[in-house]
Amino acid sequence: MAFGAVGDGSKDDSLAFIKAWKAACKSSSNGKMVVTSGKKFLVNPTTFSGPCQWPVSVHIQGTIIAPAKKSAWKMADTSKWLEFSGISGLSIGGGGIINGQGQIWWQKSCKVDKKNPCRKAPTAIHISSCRNVVVTNLQFVNSQQIHLGIFYSSALHVSGLMIKAPKDSPNTDGIHLQGVTNAKVYNCDIGTGDDCISITSGTSNFDIQNIRCGPGHGISIGSLGYGGEKASVENIRVKNVVFDGTETGARIKTWQGGSGYARQITFSDIKVNDVAYPIIIDQNYCDSSKICKMKKSAVQIQNVSFQNFRGTSTEEQAVKFVCSKSMPCREIVVRDIDIKSVVSSATESVCVNAYGLAFGHVYPPSCLRRM
């Protein structure tokens, strides 16, 4: 407000935000930018860039609202709304609300109306090329696409987020990571129209704990390998998650024709409530209007563990490992699984080119083959 913001939800306050950021970033000690409580701030696509002299915090107490019209991005990158870039030592929190007003973007999505071409829509908060980042205690509502996207950054801690969008909103991932190392996501409640958390290539050493997910598409590694991509994902640990009415639970998805690997991945202590496919590996992923041609190369999936799953599935086939003939899934472990179907007296596992071991009580019975 000290830099000229009005906070009435209709006047463009972007310039005041830019001025406040520059002052905080240039501060001779730890700078703080405060978004006043009880106010609504309309902010156009904006980049808050570093480097800054000292660590900077953004304390969002009020509500930040995106423009309702797509024309606001006419001269801007349509993949971003609020971008934080090139900063070492960044904290974003304060209990406020980030409202993407994504409805106009959803209506024009090719996934809603197949006559429309597929175009990028903005990520609400886009963090790129940053290190030592904390994002905590925020509410995200109705992002245009991804709610919180983190790209090519390291040393991150994300916690205490509530992320909400309708279950039919397209591509509205809760938290998306690409090229991220040494990250933690704890204690979040996420319900959207796509993945609650999506983990893509270049991500390693990532811990996820105490998440409620639903509605949505579960927690996904991938998709990986699109367009012949050489993918790398490793050392991912997902623990203490409740999937509630989601399309999938623990999922790894790769396109045919890619290369690289997804390995050293553990999903443990998971509760599934009426989830369609609680455990799934799909190496024939094809999110396209055209038929995907069969290809020989694939991303190698290896050393993946699913431990202590309990609950119910809305499909008879609750566990699916559909892997590549040329690059089978290897070292898959299922341990202490008890998932019952609510639509059938028996629950099944499906395996194609999947090799591994089962331990303890495993239901549906394991179909993994020994090497």
For the annotated catalytic residues, the residue numbers are 194, 217
Specify the amino acid at residue 170.
P
The Cβ of residue 51 has, within 10 Å, a number of other Cβ atoms equal to: 10
Task: With CA atoms as reference, report the closest residue to 248 among 182, 187, 155, 320.
Answer: 320
**Cα–Cα distance, 206 to 323 (Å, whole number):** 24
What is the DSSP track for 68-110?
A: SSGGGGTTS-TTEEEEEES-EEEEEESS-EEE--THHHHHT-T
Specify the amino acid at residue 55.
P
For residue 190, what are the β-bridge partners?
163, 213
Per residue, the 3-state secondary structure of 213-226, as one string, reads: ECCCCCEEEEEECH
Per residue, the 3-state secondary structure of 164-233, as one string, reads: ECCCCCCCCCCEEEECCEEEEEEEEEEECCCCCEEECCCEEEEEEEEEEECCCCCEEEEEECHHHCEEEE
CA dihedral 226, 231, 236, 239 (to 10 degrees): 10
